[in-house]
Amino acid sequence: MKTAVPGACLALVFAALAISLAEEPSVGCQFGARLTILPGISEASGAALASGSPTRLWVVNDSDEPIVYGVEPEGRIVDRVRIAGATVQDWEDLAIGPCPAGRCLFIADTGDNTVQRPRITIYRIPEPARGSTLSATADAFHATYPDGPHNAESLFVDSDERIYVITKGRSADVYRFPASITPNGTSMLERVGRLALVAGGVNGHKRDNARGELATGAALSMDRNWVAIRSNESVWFFRTKDFVTGRPGVPNWVNLGSAHEPQGEAIALGPGRMIYLVGEGGSKGRPGTLRTMACALPQ
């Protein structure tokens, strides 16, 4: 395969966004009654809503074996699917989206805490059927960044099958794969732009000392109208049609403090107003967590 070559003229610049309560549209959210424990998934790092179910999630660990877990809302593991042909370096997010097989899971092996990986990998498999224990052999899409290695924990796939990766830094850099990619090939990512993920203010006033938060997960809504990006402390909702063209606008911001997650890592958007928050247990060996949240996003 030819390696895709980025063009500087194609790079779109995102405006740095200083978000305050006075600037952003209000979003009414209500958290579920309790934090659900995910026994056996201590390093839950990515989540996606399973097709055909309003509540069942696919979840991955960021280390250990190449397994995708099917999880019910009460935290019970109902499926363990080993991903054939995949290895785990640092799995950090999970997305579901269109693919030639219909619906596929996309697994982001993109973590790089030391910022020195020569390339990242996205694994793609047809979404497993209920009761499966082994997936089809995964397609592996490798990529390099145009400006050197990055640590990234956020992934989503749009309706055109384009794969987006968002880095974890005080500013979040947004990259995407070329429109045409080949399994086992290595592509050069296109830099779409940069976001400053900043929390809102207090009593309608912007905080002068607001700091950029670290992106730990992303997801696309089921109607594909919204891109959600989360940190340990917040969620930002961007309109997809603007986000993918490099004009993200001012997002809707939600404070996740009331979720009481030990370490929030992933987000999945369900039908209606339902949102699923998944995270690690906060220390080694402690089980992961799941919290629901219902949000009334603008039309």
- Tell me: the pLDDT tens digits for 104-161? 999 999 999 999 999 999 999 999 999 999 999 999 999 999 999 999 999 999 999 9
Work out how many domains the chain is built from and give that number. Answer: 1
Closest CA to 248 of 197, 178, 199, 189: 197
Q: Tell me what pLDDT residue 210 has.
A: 66
Is 4 contained in some domain? no
Is 152 contained in some domain? yes
Is 156 contained in some domain? yes
CATH no. for residue 35? 2.120.10
Closest CA to 56 of 35, 40, 79: 79
Query: What is the residue whose two structure tokens read 């995270």?
Result: 279
Between CA 14 and CA 147 the distance in angstroms is: 17
Is 87 contained in some domain? yes
Closest CA to 45 of 94, 110, 4: 94
Q: How far is CA 41 from CA 9, 65, 123, 208, in A?
A: 43, 11, 20, 39
Is 1 contained in some domain? no
Q: Tell me what pLDDT residue 209 has.
A: 57
Per-residue pLDDT of the chain (299 residues; tens, 9 = 90+): 434 434 433 333 343 333 333 344 357 899 998 999 999 999 999 999 999 999 999 999 999 899 999 999 999 999 999 999 999 999 999 999 999 999 999 999 999 999 999 999 999 999 999 999 999 999 999 999 999 999 999 999 999 999 999 999 988 999 999 999 999 999 999 999 899 899 874 333 345 556 789 999 999 999 999 999 999 999 999 999 999 988 888 899 999 999 999 999 999 999 989 999 999 998 878 999 999 999 998 87
Between CA 17 and CA 23 the distance in angstroms is: 10
Is 3 contained in some domain? no
- Tell me: the pLDDT tens digits for 246-275? 888 889 999 999 999 999 999 999 998 999
Is 238 contained in some domain? yes
Q: Domain span at residue 277? A: 10-296
Whole-prediction pTM value?
0.89
Q: Tell me what pLDDT residue 245 has.
A: 85
Is 220 contained in some domain? yes
